[in-house]
Amino acid sequence: MISGPSGVGKGTIRNALLPRVDNLQVSISATTRKPRSNEVNAREYFFVSEDEFRELIAEDKLIEWACVYSNLYGTPRDFVMKSLEKGLDVLLEIDIQGAMQVKEKMPEGVFIFIAPPSIDELIERLCNRGQDSQESIEARFAASQKEMSYMKEYDYVVVNDNLADAVKKTESIIIAERCKIN
Ligand code: ADP
Ligand code: 5GP
């Protein structure tokens, strides 16, 4: 599982990992956030209404869920469990609140925190992505300090300074974890 402040590069690292690591399945979350211009339903997210999301919660169809920057996000249970049963590793890219819920339920998971090289660089990436409103960027940045304080709850930290290095480190963590005896 990878988490970290918004704009740190989690999605970029995840996309770069996929062609490099075999037997890795990305989990597609459900969200009430509106799609960005480059996003497609059932590819980046399952975009749902708040009523539909509440129904998923009521039917216990989410492993975890959280309200993040004013929208609801959650991990569909069936898909993750079926992928694990097939022997695949499932990559969750979720926020800290969700990660802490998964840690409770699945402590055997591997928890990787992606950190920015600096706060200035984080702001720059959030702004450069050019996909969120000013209000949303401010909310994401405001949350980042508290999010950083959760780093100690994770198994690994990867600083996303140079992208290629960060991808290599994350790939190495996955490979090392697969070689672990206990
Ligand atoms: P997140 O998924 O954590 O919110 P993104 O993957 O969308 O973040 O990345 C935010 C922005 O930062 C994007 O424009 C992305 O291209 C850029 N980015 C990601 N990693 C790096 C890096 N190592 N150096 C510079 N820019 C980066
Ligand atoms: P974004 O709106 O930038 O796609 O994502 C905002 C935040 O929501 C990010 O921190 C991302 O990791 C998190 N997120 C995405 N999917 C989920 C999910 O299923 N559960 C939780 N708890 N957070 C998620």
Minimum CA distance residue for ligand 1 atom 23: 163
Please, which pLDDT band fits residue 140 given cuts at 50, 70 and 90? very high
**pLDDT for position 182:** 81
pLDDT at 41: 97
Decide if pLDDT at 79 tops 90. Answer: yes
Nearest CA to ligand 1 atom 19: 9
CA dihedral angle for residue 123, residue 65, residue 30, residue 79, rounded to 10 degrees: 120
Range of the domain at 33: 2-179
What is the best residue among 125, 144, 168 to mutate for testing ligand 1's pocket, by most ligand atoms within 8 Å of CB?
125
Say what the pLDDT of residue 131 is. Answer: 84
- pTM for the predicted model, two decimal places: 0.96
Q: Looking at the predicted structure, is the pLDDT value of residue 130 above 90? A: no
- Beta-strand relationship, 71-76 and 62-68: antiparallel
The full length of the chain comes to 182
Q: In what helix (H) or strand (E) does residue 104 lie, and over which residues does it extend?
A: helix 96-105
**Average per-residue pLDDT for the chain:** 96
Q: Please work out whether the CB of residue 74 comes within 6 Å of at least one atom of ligand 2.
A: yes
CATH of the domain at 143: 3.40.50.300
pLDDT, one tens digit per residue, over 15-34 is: 999 999 999 999 999 999 99
DSSP element (H, E) containing 59: none
Helix (H, G, I), strand (E, B), or coil: what is residue 64? strand
Region 120-146: mean pLDDT is 92
Q: Which residue has the higher pLDDT, 40 or 131?
A: 40
Number of domains into which the chain is organized: 1
Q: Which amino acid is at 91?
A: L
